[in-house]
Every structure is written in structure tokens, then in C-alpha cells.
């Protein structure tokens, strides 16, 4: 059984949902895992560490319909500092939208990046409503899919799963509004203030 590097590519890694997904994966995985978070200054160190791993799981949020720049910059460094034995790359991506399919393009980008740079591509879990789902009872649905992802990576399989809140879009709009209103309230900001149409004024 190989060893899996879990690499958090979220720009807010220490406080990110991606970190929670990474922890969930680590608990569900039968193989040994080690967690890393991409920062501005540790690209080279992660590239060097990658030599000791059979697999890499990239965990990150969808940003502007694609891969966050934090992770893109790391991939640039990795392209110039490839490990001697290239690990299989798998993906755990989440977006705040209800539809996990909104992650498709970011996954396609990573598949192509891996193809162009000679990394075998493994399995994928795409999470919708990923900003909030962990604080709902639907967390168990995510945990079940994360377990499947972990098993597939350990088995060296290439599979794709998707998971989101099993609610209607109308319910999701209401639930997400409540979520964000509560988020703003913690900062002393009202719903009306959050809904301003002004930009930089």
C-alpha cells in the first residue's frame, strides 16, 4: 500500500473547508497519509517531499470557475521541479454552488495538466454546496463519498463521484441566504448592507 500526500490548495488553507475535507479523507483512508498546505514559500519543499509518495490528493475550492491561483502557482513550480517518480494525482474539489458539475472545468484543467506533465490521473470527488454542507446533516453524504474516494485511491482506480445537498434549488437559495446573512451578522453587517449594489464607493 502506498502513501498519500494530501495537498490543500485553498488560499485560506488554515481556516478552509478544504482542510476539513482533507481531515475527513485522512480519517477514512486505510493508507498512510500526510497533510500539506500550499503557502507562498513552501513550493520547493513540497516538490521535494513528493518523492516519498505514491499518490497526491489535491484538495481545493473552485475559484472564478477554475483552479485557485494559489494552486496554479504551485503547479508552475512543480512543473520545473518534478519528483523522480511521478505520483498518481487525484482531486477533491468543492464549490459553493449547488451543482457539483460546476467543478467539471477545473477537473478537466487538472487532467490536462497531468497529461501534459506525465502524471497518472486517479480519482475525483466533486462536491457542491461545499461551503455549507459540512455544517448540515448532509455531512454524512460527503463522508460516504470521501470513503469511496479513499478506497479507490488505495486500489489505484480512476473513478469520479459527485455529492451535494439533496434539496431543491429553491430550498438551496433560502438556505444559502440564511447562511450568508448569519455570516454577515457575525461581522455586524446586515443583509441590506451585504446586498449593496455599490462597488468601491
Q: Give the residues lining the site for another protein (CB under 8 A).
A: 10-12, 16, 61, 63-70, 72-73, 76, 96-99, 102, 104-105, 108-110, 112-113, 115-116, 169, 172-173, 176-177, 180, 183-184, 186-187, 189, 193-201
- DSSP string across the chain: --EEEEEE--TTGGG-HHHHHHHHHHHH-SSEEEEEE--SS-HHHHHHHGGG-SEEEEEEE-BTTB--HHHHHHHHHHHHS--SSPPEEEEEEE-SSS-GGGGHHHHHHHHHHHHHHT--EEEEEEESSTTTGGGSTTHHHHHHHHHHHHHHHHTT---EEEE---S-HHHHHHHHHHHHHHHHHHTT--HHHHT---S--
Q: How far is the CB of 74 from another protein (least distance, A)?
A: 11
2 or 11: CB nearest another protein? 11
Least separation in angstroms between CB 178 and another protein: 11
Q: Which is nearer to another protein, 29 or 67 (CB)?
A: 67
CB of 41 to another protein, least distance (A): 13
List beta partners, residue 160: 124
Residue 155 Cβ, how far from another protein at the closest point, in Å?
27
Q: Cβ closer to another protein: 87 or 100?
A: 100
Whichever of 67 and 150 has its CB closer to another protein, that residue is: 67
Least distance to another protein, CB of residue 70, Å? 6
29 or 89, CB closer to another protein? 89
Q: Which is nearer to another protein, 140 or 169 (CB)?
A: 169
Vertex 131: Cα angle to 92 and 167 (nearest 5): 95
Q: Residue 55's closest CA among 12, 80, 79, 25?
A: 25
The minimum distance between CB 88 and another protein, in angstroms, equals: 18
Amino acid at each position: 500500500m502506498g502513501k498519500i500526500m494530501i495537498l490543500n490548495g485553498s488560499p485560506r488553507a488554515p481556516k478552509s473547508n478544504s482542510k476539513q475535507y482533507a481531515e475527513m479523507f485522512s480519517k477514512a483512508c486505510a493508507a498512510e497519509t500526510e497533510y500539506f498546505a500550499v503557502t507562498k514559500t513552501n513550493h520547493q519543499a513540497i516538490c521535494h517531499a513528493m518523492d516519498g509518495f505514491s499518490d497526491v490528493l489535491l484538495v481545493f475550492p473552485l475559484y472564478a470557475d477554475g483552479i485557485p491561483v494559489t494552486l496554479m502557482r504551485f503547479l508552475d513550480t512543480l512543473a520545473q521541479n518534478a519528483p523522480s517518480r511521478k505520483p498518481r494525482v487525484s482531486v477533491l474539489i468543492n464549490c459553493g454552488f449547488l451543482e457539483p458539475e460546476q467543478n467539471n472545468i477545473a477537473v478537466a484543467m487538472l487532467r490536462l495538466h497531468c497529461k501534459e506533465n506525465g502524471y497518472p490521473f486517479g480519482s475525483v470527488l466533486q462536491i457542491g454546496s461545499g461551503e455549507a454542507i459540512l455544517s448540515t446533516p448532509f455531512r454524512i453524504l460527503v463522508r460516504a463519498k470521501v470513503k469511496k474516494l479513499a478506497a479507490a485511491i488505495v486500489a489505484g482506480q480512476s473513478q469520479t463521484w459527485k455529492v451535494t445537498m439533496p434539496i431543491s434549488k429553491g430550498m438551496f437559495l433560502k438556505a444559502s441566504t440564511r447562511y450568508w446573512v448569519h455570516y454577515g451578522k457575525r461581522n455586524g453587517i446586515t443583509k441590506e448592507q451585504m446586498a449593496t449594489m455599490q462597488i468601491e464607493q
